[in-house]
Structure 1
Amino acid sequence: MRRPRGGEREGERGSAVAEYAMVTVLLMVLFLGVVQVAIALHVRNTVAQCAVEGARYGARADVDPGASVGRAQQLLRGFAGDAYAADVSSRLSSVDGVAVVEVTVRAPLPVIGTLGPTHALTVSGRAYREGQDPS
């Protein structure tokens, strides 16, 4: 008859393998969730920066404000492809009496990897139009 070693009881043999498997699965789910949140934040920040850069380009004095859409789409295609550059719009608005170019991007929200529902992420960027009278 074999005796259990060092406090090990007969009914607990092999439980370390089961515990390891359960804890590993839990940690992997947690890790992948953190990675997915990081991907979503990175995509949101980059799309917002593309919108801001498009607005800056359209706000230049020697450029038509409508050119901001093309610039933002060019940057978005370089970042993530056509799916993110499909719905970009711009408008000339006024904030406290100052002309502002505003670019709005509607893009997919990455839920699983970079896949997700379309038009769920909406960001906009603004830039003051150059060549205005500061008074």
Structure 2
Amino acid sequence: MPRRARGREDGSAVVDFVLVLVVLLPLFLGILQVALVLHVRNTLVAAASEGARYGATADRGPADAVARTRQQIAAAIDDRYAEHVTARPVPVGGAPGLEVRVEATVPALGLGGPGVHLSVSGHAVEEEAWR
């Protein structure tokens, strides 16, 4: 009788593996998606801030800020995230400043389909020219 009971357990490891995989695979893919979105968001924030600082220097302007931001994004991740970059003068803490705004959509797991819309901005106080 013990032989028959042991024989009925053959193949149960496969079933256990599938049951555990059904739970762990979506969890792993969800963590991967969050990591991808956070990476892209942090890169866009850093590029927008760098672009704002660059455009706020004494001999630069909003067009230079947009170009610098696009260059930073293209070098770090991909050109498609640099399509919607704008810069405009705004007051920053009561002083004249520059705001660079970047809008992008991060596709689900990088494969396409519905995505996460990100809108980030960077600010910098404008420099005064030396006299």
Quickly name the TM-score band, shorter chain normalised.
0.7 to 0.9
State the Cα distance separating 1:10 from its structure 2 match.
Answer: 6.8
Structure 2 partner of 1:35: 32
Whether 1:103 aligns to 2:103 is no
Query: Which residue does the alignment assign to 1:87?
Result: 84
2: distance between equivalents of 1:67 and 1:20? 55
Q: Distance in 2 between matches of 1:55 and 1:89?
A: 10
TM-align CA RMSD:
2.5
Structure (1/2) with the larger strand percentage:
2
CA gap 1:31/1:53 in 2 versus in 1, 3 angstroms: same
Q: Give the number of the structure whose alpha-carbon radius of gyration is greater.
A: 1
Matched length: 129
For residues 1-135 of structure 1, what are the structure 2 equivalents within 5 Å? 2-4=1-3, 8=5, 12-113=9-110, 115=112, 120-131=117-128
Give the conservation status (yes or no) of the 8 Å contact 1:108–1:115. no
1:84, 1:74 → 2: CA distance?
Answer: 11
CA shift at 1:9, angstroms? 6.6
Q: TM-score, normalised by structure 2?
A: 0.83
Instruction: Report the Cα distance in structure 1 between the residues aligned to 2:65 and 2:21, rounded to whole angstroms.
Output: 48
Percent of paired sites with the same residue: 45
Q: Secondary structure at the match of 2:127?
A: coil
- Please, what TM-score do these two structures have when normalized by structure 1? 0.81
5+ residue gaps, structure 1, are none
Separation in 2, partners of 1:94, 1:21: 58
Runs (5+) with no aligned partner, structure 2: none
The alignment partner of 2:39 has SS state of helix
Distance 1:118 1:15 in 2: 39
1:88-116 alpha-carbon deviations (Å, 9 max, x no partner): 00000113420111000011123222645
